[in-house]
Amino acid sequence: MSQPSPDSPDVLEKLVSMAKQRGFFFGSSEIYGGINALYDYGPLGARMRRNVRNLWWTAMIESRDDIEPIETSIIMNPQVWVASGHVDTFTDPLVDCTGTCRKRWREDHLADERRARGKPEDAPGCPECGGALTQARQFNLMFRTHLGPVPDDAAQVYLRPETAQGMFVDFTTVVQAMRRRLPFGIAQQGKSFRNEISPSNSIFRTREFEQMEMEFFCKPGTDLEWYRYWCATRLRWWIDDCGVRMSRLRLREHAADELSHYSAATSDVEYRFPWGWGELEGIADRTDFDLRRHSEHSGRDLSYFDTDTNERYIPYVIEPAAGLDRACLTMLIDAWDEEEVRGETRVVLRLHPDVAPWQLAVLPLSKKPQLTEYDETQSIGRRYRRQDEIGTPLAITVDFDSLEDNAVTIRERDGMTQVRVPLVDLEAACEEQLAVCRAAALQRAQSD
Using rule CB under 6 A, residue 197 touches ligand GAP: no
Q: Of the two residues 257 and 404, which places its CB atom closer to ligand GAP in the complex?
A: 257
Per the CB < 8 A criterion, the answer to whether 266 and 255 are in contact is no
Residue nearest to ligand GAP (CB): 323
Q: Of the two residues 52 and 133, which places its CB atom closer to ligand GAP in the complex?
A: 52
Name the one range near ligand GAP by CB under 6 A: 17-25, 112-120, 321-329, 364-372: 321-329
Using rule CB under 6 A, residue 290 touches ligand GAP: no
Q: How far is the CB of 20 from ligand GAP (least distance, A)?
A: 19
Binding mask 212-241 for ligand GAP (x = CB under 6 A): -x----------------------------
- The CA angle 393-350-427, to the nearest 5 degrees, is 15
Using rule CB under 6 A, residue 281 touches ligand GAP: yes
Q: Of the two residues 110 and 164, which places its CB atom closer to ligand GAP in the complex?
A: 164
Q: Of the two residues 81 and 358, which places its CB atom closer to ligand GAP in the complex?
A: 81
Q: Of the two residues 11 and 167, which places its CB atom closer to ligand GAP in the complex?
A: 167
Using rule CB under 6 A, residue 242 touches ligand GAP: no
Residue in 280, 302, 348, 440 binding ligand GAP, rule: CB under 6 A: 280
Q: How far is the CB of 19 from ligand GAP (least distance, A)?
A: 16
Which residues is 436 bridged to in the sheet? none
CA distances from 6 to 117, 158, 389, 390, 443 (A): 19, 37, 16, 17, 18
Preceding peptide of 183 cis, ω within 30°: yes
- The CA angle 219-223-225, to the nearest 5 degrees, is 120
Using rule CB under 6 A, residue 92 touches ligand GAP: no
Question: Counting every residue, how long is the chain?
Answer: 448
Per the CB < 8 A criterion, the answer to whether 217 and 315 are in contact is yes
Instruction: Please give the helix or strand (H or E) that residue 227 lies within, else none.
Output: helix 223-236
Using rule CB under 6 A, residue 325 touches ligand GAP: yes
Residue in 72, 84, 188, 211 binding ligand GAP, rule: CB under 6 A: 211
**String of b and e for 256-265 (b: at least 16 CB within 10 Å)?**
eeeeeebbbb
SS3 category, 45: helix
Q: How far is the CB of 96 from ligand GAP (least distance, A)?
A: 21
Closest C-alpha among 194, 189, 165, 167 to residue 180: 167
Q: How far is the CB of 318 from ligand GAP (least distance, A)?
A: 12
Q: Of the two residues 277 and 400, which places its CB atom closer to ligand GAP in the complex?
A: 277
Residue in 49, 109, 245, 326 binding ligand GAP, rule: CB under 6 A: 326
CA dist 22 and 31 (Å) reads: 18
Binding mask 351-390 for ligand GAP (x = CB under 6 A): ----------------------------------------
Per the CB < 8 A criterion, the answer to whether 324 and 210 are in contact is yes
Residue ranges with strand state E in 44-163: 67-69, 91-96, 104-106, 137-140, 144-146, 156-158
Q: What's 122's DSSP letter? A: T
Q: Give me the amino acid identity at 206.
A: T
Using rule CB under 6 A, residue 399 touches ligand GAP: no
Using rule CB under 6 A, residue 285 touches ligand GAP: no
Residue in 68, 162, 337, 399 binding ligand GAP, rule: CB under 6 A: 162
Q: Of the two residues 1 and 255, which places its CB atom closer to ligand GAP in the complex?
A: 255
Residue in 11, 239, 321, 356 binding ligand GAP, rule: CB under 6 A: 321
Which residues is 326 bridged to in the sheet? none
Residue in 196, 338, 389, 414 binding ligand GAP, rule: CB under 6 A: 196
Per the CB < 8 A criterion, the answer to whether 254 and 268 are in contact is yes
Residues 6+ apart with CB under 8 A from 426: 396, 408
Which residues is 278 bridged to in the sheet? 271
**String of b and e for 100-114 (b: at least 16 CB within 10 Å)?**
eeebebbbebbebbb
Using rule CB under 6 A, residue 315 touches ligand GAP: no
Residue in 107, 128, 279, 432 binding ligand GAP, rule: CB under 6 A: 279
Q: How far is the CB of 33 from ligand GAP (least distance, A)?
A: 22
Q: How far is the CB of 145 from ligand GAP (least distance, A)?
A: 18
**String of b and e for 183-198 (b: at least 16 CB within 10 Å)?**
bbbbbbbbebbbbbbb
Contacting residues toward ligand GAP, per CB under 6 A: 162, 164, 194, 196, 205-206, 209, 211, 213, 279-282, 319, 321-323, 325-326
